[in-house]
């Protein structure tokens, strides 16, 4: 899994203030237009953050756990 869609979500949030606010307010709704796997949508929807930095930290934590789990299998 390349997580290309996740990179697009974060990149869009960096340059689009309206999208960033929507992402922080209601991630599931904000990412509906992106080509994401169901697990990625689930993870993004579970993030509760007040800033993009907090959002990215939580996402990075999940990615780290996910990559470790995938490497062990």
Summarize the confidence of residues 1-19 as an average pLDDT. Answer: 91
pLDDT at 67 over 80: no
| Structural domain containing residue 25 | 4-72
Q: Predicted confidence band at 73 (pLDDT cuts at 50, 70, 90)?
A: very low
Mean pLDDT of 15-40: 96
Give the distance from CA 22 to its chain's centroid: 13
Rounded to an integer, what distance in angstroms lies between the CA atom of residue 54 and that of residue 69? Answer: 23
Coil, strand or helix at 48: coil
User: Domain count of the chain?
Assistant: 1
At 45-55, the pLDDT tens digits run 999 999 999 99
Instruction: Kindly tell me if the per-residue pLDDT of 71 is higher than 50.
Output: no
E strands, the chain, in order: none
Nearest to 6 by CA among 50, 22, 30: 30
What's this model's pTM, rounded to 2 decimal places? 0.85
């Amino acid at each position: 899994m390349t997580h290309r869609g996740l990179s697009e979500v974060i990149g869009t949030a960096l340059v689009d203030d309206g999208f960033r606010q929507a992402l922080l307010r209601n991630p599931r709704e904000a990412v509906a237009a992106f080509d994401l796997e169901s697990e990625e949508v689930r993870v993004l929807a579970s993030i509760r953050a007040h800033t993009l930095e907090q959002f990215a930290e939580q996402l990075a934590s999940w990615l780290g756990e996910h990559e470790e789990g995938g490497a062990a299998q």
